[in-house]
Amino acid sequence: MPLASGVMKQTPTTPPAPDNFPQPLRTLVVDDSFRFLKALCAYLQTQPSFQVVGTAVDGSEALHMVELLEPDLVFMDLHMPFMDGLQATAIQRRRMPNMRIIIMTREHAATAEVKARAHGANGFIPKLGITDGLITEVRRVFLPDTHKRGAEPFTPMYHPDAALETTSVLV
């Protein structure tokens, strides 16, 4: 249940993480759709690999929450008001290069995935049917040698100059 500023309560009923993760991944979920945010958090709280530590509704709030909570993983919506997921990802990548960020979107276009990579995302997942591929994508992001999609694992191809060209909000 969200508390003030999007911080989540720890729940003692969260099942233990599988052996390939030493602890549940401290996870921040960022989306401007309250319905989607609530549904994804509810799903993640049933999964042993995740501990939802907070939520945010736009990229600017996500940057603040990441600083406050220091999550291991951020699920970031691509399109949001005020600051979109690409802008927030580019800024966050410069601040905490080792944190994992997975961009979520309703788009299925390959161009969205390319933009996500250029801005520093570690992963990309369509929102439609997200629960079907979410665990696989997270494992691939954290364990790229054992969970490859295609020939190469999805790694950020962060280009600061390209990212700054589309980043109009600086924090």
Q: pLDDT tens string for the chain (171 positions)?
A: 444 346 555 444 333 444 555 479 999 999 999 999 999 999 999 998 899 999 999 999 999 999 999 999 999 999 998 898 899 999 998 898 888 999 998 877 778 888 888 888 999 998 887 888 888 888 888 886 654 444 344 444 444 444 444 443 333
The domain in which residue 124 lies consists of 4-9+22-166
Are 159 and 118 in contact by the 8 Å Cβ rule? The answer is: yes
91 Ramachandran zone, left/alpha/beta (phi>0; psi -120 to 50): alpha
List all residues 6 or more positions away from 85 whose beta carbon is below 8 Å from its beta carbon: 30, 59, 76, 77, 78, 79, 103, 104, 105, 116
Q: Tell me, what's the pLDDT at 164?
A: 43
Residue 51: inside a domain, yes or no?
yes
Instruction: For residue 106, tell me if it sits in a domain.
Output: yes
DSSP class of residue 5 equals G
Crossing angle (nearest 10°) for helices 34-44 and 130-142: 60
Phi then psi dihedrals of residue 31, to 5 deg: -160, 140
17 in any annotated domain: no
Give dist(CA 31, CA 33) in Å, integer.
Answer: 6
Residue 38 lies in a domain: yes
Q: Does some domain include residue 16?
A: no
Q: How many alpha carbons lie under 13 Å from residue 18 in its C-beta half-sphere?
A: 5
Total count of domains within the chain: 1
Following DSSP, what letter does each residue of 34-61 receive, concatenated?
Answer: HHHHHHHHHHHTTSTTEEEEEEESSHHH
pTM of the model: 0.75
Structural domain contains residue 65: yes
Q: What is the CATH classification number for the domain harbouring 106?
A: 3.40.50.2300
Q: Per the domain annotation, does 60 fall within a domain?
A: yes
**Residue 47 located in a structural domain:** yes
Distance between CA atoms of 80 and 128, rounded to whole angstroms?
A: 17
